[in-house]
Amino acid sequence: MSVFRIPDGIIDDIHSLMANYWWGQKGTERRSHWKKWEKLCRPKEDGGMGFRDLKIFNKAMLTKQLWNIHVRPTSLVARLLKAKYHPRTGGA
């Protein structure tokens, strides 16, 4: 999650798997939902279960990588990305 943007469809599938674990069904009998997914993603202190919203978490992890590249332009990752995508530009 910290390297690639995960497509929304895959994240929706993961959320669906998590929801089925909590609210799944037995045969043809469906179980009732406890709360909305958004409420379950709230922190426990706010009445939620502390689940992570994977779309937001993925975005945060990618932003962290971008920040690290910006702050440490001489890091290996920053140098590799610069060499691959901007080989003719100057600077670190």
> Is 58 a domain residue?
yes
> Is 57 a domain residue?
yes
> Is 42 a domain residue?
no
pLDDT of 74 above 70? yes
- Cβ-count burial 51-76 (b if 16+ within 10 Å, e if not): bebbeebbeebbeeeeeebeeeeeee
Q: Which of 21, 24, 12, 3 is nearest to 54 (CA)?
A: 12
Lowest mean pLDDT, pick from 11-15, 39-43, 52-56: 39-43
Q: Which two tokens stand for residue 14?
A: 């993961």
Query: Which of the two residues, 10 and 53, has the higher pLDDT score?
Result: 10
pLDDT tens digits, 24-41: 766 677 677 667 777 888
- Domain extent for 63: 1-21+53-92
d(CA 21, CA 23): 6
CB atoms under 10 Å from CB of 79, counted, come to 14
> Is 77 a domain residue?
yes
> Is 9 a domain residue?
yes
Q: How many domains does the chain have?
A: 1
